[in-house]
Structure 1
Amino acid sequence: MKRPKPLEREKFLNEDEILVSKTDTKGKITYGNEGFIEISGYSEEELLGKPHSIIRHPDMPKVVFKILWDGIQRGCEVNAYVKNLAKDGSFYWVFATVTPSFDPGSDRIIGHFSVRRAPDAEKLRAIKPLYAELLRAERGGGMAASEAMVNDILAKKGVDYEEFIHSL
């Protein structure tokens, strides 16, 4: 499927709107609620079985997704601000909470569950310039450069990633 060209047209979630999706362990979409399907602009058929990265906006630093994947593969819930790309090229920001799903009766991860809400506008004002810096670092030195930048920020603040995200 051809990726859309990003446009400067933003969509907004309502305060009470919740977007839900589920993926398998490889990140392929196995479920999307009506809100997720609607805002993405894709049909359910176009989404199911596709990698969740189908909605990844190129303005997103890859290190944010590395942090998400590392956390959920350890069995932890992870939060992040994410800029997504809709099928029509528009974008929308979300505050995502991603949780691993476990096989009943075992510790084996069988998928992931993501709940996304409207982000706090004040916190987005803090995250947008940070993401722009991380993206510049990534473009200049790869993901290792942006990961080093994140680690430096966390070390200077004396917090882990989750504490940092919630302290914005």
Structure 2
Amino acid sequence: MKNKIQPINKERKLKEEDFIVSKTDPSGRITYTNRIFMQIAGYSEAELLGQQQNIIRHPDMPRAIFQLLWDTLKQGREFFGYVKNMSRDGSFYWVFANITPTLNPSGKLVGYYSVRRRPKEESVRLIEPIYAEMLAVEQRAGARQAIQASTQLLQAKLTDYGSDYEHFVLEI
């Protein structure tokens, strides 16, 4: 299901006690979703199962963040990050995501487990302009150079903060 939804400027917010939980196979296809995920995203379980996790991707998210996410997971490490998602009606919601590779007893990757919670508003205020600048750089750079250009910008900003992405997002 290709996401052709037009974003609208309406924010949904998770409650403080809400946790979005999902599981995917190794290619990112949803194999499990909890009710909170279905409620905030506006999809039924049947509509989500088997779909790529990016069904909820908001166009305001820089591609470089998803490249960083996948690079981190492919190294067998868990990923922490702020993500702006889009609901079925075009509204948006921010999450603080923790995504962990799931291994079987012999150590083979069998999927990913993701828990997302409501982010601190001050953290979103800090990360949102960085993502907007990264997205602008990606658009100027063109499709082939977008991720590289955006990653360079992010690295420069993180160097100014004296941090890497994981530590930065965990600290803010």
Q: TM-score, normalised by structure 1?
A: 0.95
1:122 positional shift: 0.6
Q: Which residue of 1 aligns with 2:153?
A: 149
Q: Which residue of 2 aligns with 1:137?
A: 137
Number of equivalences: 167
Q: Which residue of 1 aligns with 2:33?
A: 32
One-letter amino acid matched to 2:122: E
Q: Which residue of 2 aligns with 1:116?
A: 116
Q: CA–CA distance in 2 between the matches of 1:127 and 1:156? A: 14
Is 1:101 the counterpart of 2:102? The answer is yes
What CA RMSD, in Å, does the superposition of the two structures yield over aligned residues?
1.1
Deviations 1:80-116 (A, max 9, x none): 1111011111111100000000012x22211001100
Q: Which residue of 1 aligns with 2:11?
A: 10
1:133 positional shift: 0.4
Unaligned stretches of 5+ residues in structure 1? none
Q: Which residue of 2 aligns with 1:161?
A: 165
One-letter amino acid matched to 1:32: T
Q: CA–CA distance in 1 between the matches of 2:98 and 2:44? A: 23
Q: CA–CA distance in 2 between the matches of 1:166 and 1:22? A: 22
Q: CA–CA distance in 1 between the matches of 2:134 and 2:127? A: 10
Q: Which residue of 2 aligns with 1:47?
A: 48
Equivalent positions of 1:73-92 (< 5 A) are 73-92=74-93
Unaligned stretches of 5+ residues in structure 2? none
Deviations 1:13-67 (A, max 9, x none): 0001000001111110000001001111011111000000000000000111111
